[in-house]
Structure 1
């Protein structure tokens, strides 16, 4: 069964959609729209590539074809091209006349959407497509393989077409009808019996058709199409192939044409094999972007035309039109970096792409730019069309453009991160390809750091590089600010700056301690915050003289323990002597000071000739604290304290006794002292919340930094001691429940989140450090039954003012020392209240009058909010 072929009917792009209608009247004035289902039923098919190049195939035995004696065939079509709007319609009429008389006994046609079988019969009466049911075909029985009988009208309703001509009986079936079935996996078959009325009675004809649905093998370069040499159920016995032709797009090719295109047609015992090169001139490539990755396919439509003769001398012409598209082939774009750093210009070439790919935009570090915007900014974007129909793109960007990132190290490293945004036409499918460019130039002099030490301080000098002072300085863990520079005696000019940092500053790290020295290290880092680059660093370690053990003639031993870097989780206040009840007399976050007699705290004595050795050990006994605060990988902390005394020695001491006339009597005087408690914003204790700042919002895990200060006094012999501090839910200091934070001048050891005392050093604000105590408590403290309290919280403190010249015992021995008695002035009910609600806060200052045992107190009231 042959077909008429209309090649390249129109050429359009984008949203133009062709619709076929066939002339259904002799004068061509009436047309029937060929929907996809009607086209398959009537023997029409249409193939369009993505750019609108269209081919239309019509079976010579199709509906609406003017058939003259089965030799001359006329067909007329009207094509309507619909644009983006319903009113944008263009019509195009086409006609074709074909002459064909070399009919075989059986003709089988396999098109893309239907299969057709025609059988030679001796008919005398002309039956048309419309009159076939009334005068010719009566009924048909399909075998699937079960028999299914239909009359002509039922078959037409099921999508089939059947007709008779003067010499032929024709049956057509779309591939998706119910009575078609798959056989041997790669074939779709149709088998039926047709009953039709002939002039001399009822005739019965067996018809069968089978079309291939697979059999294609792919390599990177070749498409191999395999068709069974014996197509069942078309051949039962022996047969002989008389003719075998290959074609493209429905047109036969001779051997010279096949050789010129690289096509081959061969046979084996079981198959007819057609081989086509991928990329041949009769097919086309198409771009795709699955998962936003660039791929291509190659499509081509070969044709096989075979004529064979069976044992019964009946000829069969078997024609197959078989569109083939290769699987997706990844084609990641190839990037060529043509950058020459000395030209200070990034230059990139990217390709290759098929002609259906367009570059739409480029994403830089600053944002997305269209091609027009790129060129407007001085970035040269160009498209290059190549002779083989592909294209590539190039881009040039100056080093000094705002989209270029810089890394200033020993040389300047320029970075240009890019994302090219593409579209595939006409579907407008997007995909992207990232490219990172990098170039280096030796055009930068980096800043340098040098340093020295003396017996007490580090001397640091930083010399600027070619970029000037365009960096930040980190001293230890802190950024060098104007305030910190004032502390470290910052001096600066146009070429360099210098620092003087005491070795005991909090920004240093202690590496090693011996009996007479300590090795401290200062880390200085020059940092570019814009690019997160390290421009320079210095790790300066020096040994400084430090006596850690003192032995007094009266048998008193004193020792200083230092937190070193190798024990990062050490809390000095937890250190004890061998007798764990012997705790530091003073401690902060870096030091712990012990003072004890040689016959206490588990001190051992050993005799050596004329000397006695008294020895103790400072160490950390984890106890219950270890599970909470100490990692099992932390090293042990042990420091030996040794004192040597001469055994045999004689000292002459003069002593005179003079009885006193009476007991000493304290002189009664009066004065005024002012004490205030404030809440600092952080651990630097430089900025404090003011009255208008309250209430202050705080969260769990945030510490509260308190400072209690004796105001209005410059007497260096007075010391403020915090004796007890606790929190309640009510203003009444005796109300319950309550939480202890400071007990008997020390941190509450029963609290899993212990209070921390912070050292006070002399500075521009603090003239007498003994007048100030600082401590912090963790917001986890205020929980009850593991639930966060949302009530009003009051913090109370009992404070003690001591004369440091007296030999008083008890609290006046110092913060966190256990006294037995004291002669002190007590401050009561210094409390800090805070609550969840936002309300007005009053700030009151009340003087403390010291008159005999009559005390009058000031109260500072603040409120703040904390959140779980």
Structure 2
């Protein structure tokens, strides 16, 4: 039983490829393969949509039915050129004088070839029988310079000899009487030995054929003026009865590359090729062609080709073929290099020379094929702003691109839901984008962080756009980012009114159309829920108006003038830009209040003494602090005012639990009768204690700009107030990317960039060094740039709540780890592609001191100016880069390229062999054990 099971496994391994392989058709549609007769060669064309993803090889069928595989050096030796056309389709050219061509009197040519296609272990041969006739009379000498070989054929019989052998069958093998002499090293070898060296030597009914691949040992580079030729200098020798036949089979082909300019390419070569001509050359002619077909002069002019066919017949003349880059007849192709859009231009040129020798009847035709590919030309897309202020919408375009460039996505701020993405395409150029988004709606509602108040009634709207383009069918992606701005005079500034209550300063503001996106400050303190609650501020906030009452005394007030009669107190209210914190609007309210003792936020203390309320009354002018030299700043008989620093005038410091207490006393000097005697005085003792309490932990990071405040004691009567204090930064949050949803292992610095696929997930965790603090995610976003304020931005978390934009954007989930570290699960959906960075603004919160650490995302919760109360500490941390990619499609392959299907067969066969050996070994062991 076990043996049968193992045999089944072995059979499954061997048959595995058959499960996935799709059968190949027995015959091909007429649109897949096309054949044609052109000048001196057979032409075969194959559609890339069929052949591009398969392995294939070309096989010539010889006279006995055997197969000769044409590839590499063998194809060059036999006159076969295997290439592709400008668009990537299969293209095969076979010389009429090539191997295995049935030549009938140098007039009719027949050949049988087959293209064998492989898919896995399947193979199908598609046979083609081709017949062509010479479309013109053969010249005495004809030379062809192909992509992979040079060929010359020369007339070997005089006119009367042709008549005698007119009915003779063509030669199929080169005669032993033929030898080849190479002039480079003055060696003469048998024709059969030349064939063994990679040359092809053959004779037809009327012609001698010599073919040489490029860069053979006997070839050489010759210089003619400023130009170069690839040449093989050779002769064909034949011994005959009473005579010897010597035929010049020298071949020469211009080898200089084209010259590329900004807008055109030029192929320049000598008009006459030195090794092939003598000084006495009769009139010559020149013609250019495209893709193997000669052009008439009017065709060249219509396509803006520059070609002068009126050239002098001498060795100093040159022939110049100039083609504008992008001209018809060629193919422009796009590519991406380091996220830069580049283009190349391909064209297959043809140049034909014809001339007569000195005897007037030895005409030569010289034909050269020249595939040309320009270097990659860097293209900067043209970004155009068509925005018209009165239309009040952005209108932009990006161009120009070739037809193989498609728009993959158009990135704008992820909170924008505006529609209106228009696309315009023509044959070769694309004006790809117009993005209208109403400035009055889109800018205010969708782009709050992209507006800049310029003062007065002007504001600037700024739209950050990123085009994500893809190449077809290469599936390469590149991006282009730009900014479009529009300045409008449409700002309605807020208006203010201030008043004084009995014990408060009152500010009323009528809203404009921009202040909803500014942050309110009292002096340098953000007006947060925490500040409002702790200082008993009264705030009423609507879409139309804002009302604020600040009680006296409290944090945030400025004491301009302090006198015995009154304190002049100022409330400074400002609105600041939510990105730069620049003050955009301000207003101050001034009120006068009765004096009282106050602890100021700058560490100063103000003590007020009223001697008329004591029994008996005291003379306030005789009061002082613990340091007797600290006298009143101002005093009358009944009132005294002291103003001093908490570190002077004998002030002592005490620690009480979590508070630092500054304490001083106001003392009264008694009048005594006899200083050196026991005290005799009518004055009673007077002592007024002044205490200010500051929390010891009331320290803050410089970047936080959110404060907890101290408690003030004045004249022994408690009054709640707070001050702003800062300290140097000692802690740092960190954003890490986990390798899985268990968060047990994280990527380190050397692991980046981390590669993921679309539809994968990212798992992030915000860590802090303290175990008593909770990390919270205020805002998180993804950008295509390392900077957290990059142009291309996807929101993940907004104001502490997950920002899920739908199936075509990033979706997120927020939760806490068991140790209260904030975690973020990001699902990569839709259009995100390329390299991204994740940024988060992380807040720290002490759950023992704050009730607001664990806030919900209830949309009905009241918020000041539309913002959630920020925790005690916040900073921006980043992680990345993360490379998001998609699966690549299978590319085109030739037979020499090993595809995965081949390796799958090798692997499967290997597994099958191993399984079979294992089966044999196990079965043998079982039998031995039984016996």
Q: Structure 2-normalised TM-score?
A: 0.52
Are 2:201 and 1:250 aligned? no
Equivalent in the alignment of 1:223: 265
For 1:270-292, what per-residue CA distance to the aligned partner results, in whole angstroms no more than 9, with x for missing partners?
31122334443322322233333
Q: CA deviation at 1:304?
A: 1.6
Q: CA deviation at 1:317?
A: 2.3
SS at match of 2:75: helix
Equivalent in the alignment of 1:325: 373
CA 538–141 in structure 1, closer or farther in 2 if over 3 Å, else same:
same
CA 680–236 in structure 1, closer or farther in 2 if over 3 Å, else same:
farther
Equivalent in the alignment of 1:492: 539
For 1:84-135, what per-residue CA distance to the aligned partner results, in whole angstroms no more than 9, with x for missing partners?
x776978473624122664344322111222222333349898978622x63
SS at match of 1:323: strand
Checking the alignment, whether the CA contact within 8 Å between 1:180 and 1:188 is kept in structure 2 is no
Q: CA deviation at 1:220?
A: 4.6
Equivalent in the alignment of 1:761: 712
Structure with bigger strand share is 1
Distance 1:560 1:161 in 2: 120
Distance 1:426 1:54 in 2: 17
Checking the alignment, whether the CA contact within 8 Å between 1:345 and 1:398 is kept in structure 2 is yes
Checking the alignment, whether the CA contact within 8 Å between 1:5 and 1:250 is kept in structure 2 is no
Residue from 473, 476, 480 that aligns with 2:523:
476
Checking the alignment, whether the CA contact within 8 Å between 1:522 and 1:541 is kept in structure 2 is yes
Listed as ranges, the matches of 1:154-165 within 5 Å are: 155-156=194-195, 158-165=197-204
Q: CA deviation at 1:384?
A: 3.4
Checking the alignment, whether the CA contact within 8 Å between 1:527 and 1:536 is kept in structure 2 is yes
Residue from 447, 451, 459 that aligns with 1:405:
447
Q: CA deviation at 1:189?
A: 1.9
CA 105–492 in structure 1, closer or farther in 2 if over 3 Å, else same:
same
For 1:640-684, what per-residue CA distance to the aligned partner results, in whole angstroms no more than 9, with x for missing partners?
xxxxxxxxxxxxx9935896599xxxxxxxxxxxxxx99954338
Equivalent in the alignment of 2:176: 135
Checking the alignment, whether the CA contact within 8 Å between 1:308 and 1:317 is kept in structure 2 is yes
Checking the alignment, whether the CA contact within 8 Å between 1:22 and 1:64 is kept in structure 2 is no
Equivalent in the alignment of 1:21: 58
Distance 2:500 2:367 in 1: 98
Are 2:424 and 1:384 aligned? yes
Are 2:151 and 1:108 aligned? no
Are 2:243 and 1:171 aligned? no
Distance 1:381 1:427 in 2: 25
Checking the alignment, whether the CA contact within 8 Å between 1:76 and 1:93 is kept in structure 2 is yes
Equivalent in the alignment of 2:353: 306
Checking the alignment, whether the CA contact within 8 Å between 1:137 and 1:194 is kept in structure 2 is no
CA 350–19 in structure 1, closer or farther in 2 if over 3 Å, else same:
same
SS at match of 2:532: helix
CA 526–154 in structure 1, closer or farther in 2 if over 3 Å, else same:
farther
Equivalent in the alignment of 1:363: 411
Listed as ranges, the matches of 1:453-468 within 5 Å are: 461-466=508-513
Checking the alignment, whether the CA contact within 8 Å between 1:293 and 1:431 is kept in structure 2 is yes
Q: CA deviation at 1:9?
A: 5.1
Q: CA deviation at 1:534?
A: 5.5
CA 106–521 in structure 1, closer or farther in 2 if over 3 Å, else same:
farther
CA 768–411 in structure 1, closer or farther in 2 if over 3 Å, else same:
closer
Listed as ranges, the gaps of 5+ residues in structure 1 are 368-373, 562-571, 576-582, 596-652, 663-676, 685-698, 706-757, 781-868
Equivalent in the alignment of 1:78: 114
Checking the alignment, whether the CA contact within 8 Å between 2:114 and 2:125 is kept in structure 1 is no
For 1:725-772, what per-residue CA distance to the aligned partner results, in whole angstroms no more than 9, with x for missing partners?
xxxxxxxxxxxxxxxxxxxxxxxxxxxxxxxxx997328998499xxx
Checking the alignment, whether the CA contact within 8 Å between 2:278 and 2:358 is kept in structure 1 is no
CA 317–499 in structure 1, closer or farther in 2 if over 3 Å, else same:
same
CA 219–86 in structure 1, closer or farther in 2 if over 3 Å, else same:
farther
Q: CA deviation at 1:775?
A: 12
Q: CA deviation at 1:445?
A: 4.3
Equivalent in the alignment of 2:854: none
CA 177–35 in structure 1, closer or farther in 2 if over 3 Å, else same:
same
Checking the alignment, whether the CA contact within 8 Å between 2:51 and 2:90 is kept in structure 1 is no
CA 229–411 in structure 1, closer or farther in 2 if over 3 Å, else same:
same
Distance 2:728 2:539 in 1: 40
Distance 2:206 2:632 in 1: 122
For 1:44-86, what per-residue CA distance to the aligned partner results, in whole angstroms no more than 9, with x for missing partners?
2244345445543322221122222333323344345678x77
Checking the alignment, whether the CA contact within 8 Å between 1:404 and 1:416 is kept in structure 2 is no
Residue from 658, 682, 686 that aligns with 2:698:
682
Equivalent in the alignment of 1:265: 308
Q: CA deviation at 1:254?
A: 3.1
Distance 1:61 1:156 in 2: 15
Equivalent in the alignment of 1:67: 103
Question: RMSD of the TM alignment (CA)?
Answer: 5.8
Q: Work out which of the two has the higher radius of gyration on C-alpha atoms and give 1 or 2.
A: 1
SS at match of 1:258: helix
Distance 2:196 2:229 in 1: 21
Are 2:53 and 1:56 aligned? no
Distance 2:548 2:103 in 1: 105
Distance 2:351 2:621 in 1: 112
Checking the alignment, whether the CA contact within 8 Å between 1:524 and 1:539 is kept in structure 2 is yes
Q: CA deviation at 1:538?
A: 2.4
CA 248–560 in structure 1, closer or farther in 2 if over 3 Å, else same:
farther
Checking the alignment, whether the CA contact within 8 Å between 2:282 and 2:356 is kept in structure 1 is yes
Listed as ranges, the gaps of 5+ residues in structure 2 are 1-37, 596-603, 608-619, 634-643, 654-661, 666-670, 681-692, 731-931
Residue from 80, 99, 106 that aligns with 2:134:
99
Q: Structure 1-normalised TM-score?
A: 0.56
Q: Which has the higher contact order (CA 8 A, sep 6+)?
A: 2
Aligned residues: 605
Equivalent in the alignment of 1:735: none
Distance 2:97 2:632 in 1: 112
Residue from 70, 73, 80 that aligns with 1:37:
73
Distance 1:763 1:40 in 2: 105
Are 2:692 and 1:655 aligned? no
For 1:815-843, what per-residue CA distance to the aligned partner results, in whole angstroms no more than 9, with x for missing partners?
xxxxxxxxxxxxxxxxxxxxxxxxxxxxx
Equivalent in the alignment of 1:4: 41
For 1:14-72, what per-residue CA distance to the aligned partner results, in whole angstroms no more than 9, with x for missing partners?
94568563542348x65533224332222122443454455433222211222223333
Distance 1:203 1:222 in 2: 48
Distance 1:764 1:52 in 2: 93
Checking the alignment, whether the CA contact within 8 Å between 2:623 and 2:632 is kept in structure 1 is no
Q: CA deviation at 1:379?
A: 3.5
Checking the alignment, whether the CA contact within 8 Å between 1:186 and 1:215 is kept in structure 2 is no
Residue from 519, 522, 525 that aligns with 2:574:
525
CA 441–55 in structure 1, closer or farther in 2 if over 3 Å, else same:
same
Q: CA deviation at 1:364?
A: 3.3
Listed as ranges, the matches of 1:795-834 within 5 Å are: none
Checking the alignment, whether the CA contact within 8 Å between 1:175 and 1:188 is kept in structure 2 is no
Are 2:348 and 1:291 aligned? no
Checking the alignment, whether the CA contact within 8 Å between 2:59 and 2:70 is kept in structure 1 is yes
Q: CA deviation at 1:335?
A: 3.9
SS at match of 1:239: coil
Are 2:169 and 1:119 aligned? no
Distance 1:380 1:14 in 2: 41
Q: CA deviation at 1:479?
A: 1.9
Equivalent in the alignment of 1:602: none
Q: CA deviation at 1:457?
A: 9.3
Checking the alignment, whether the CA contact within 8 Å between 2:461 and 2:485 is kept in structure 1 is yes
Distance 2:259 2:675 in 1: 123
Equivalent in the alignment of 2:230: 189
Distance 1:586 1:155 in 2: 113
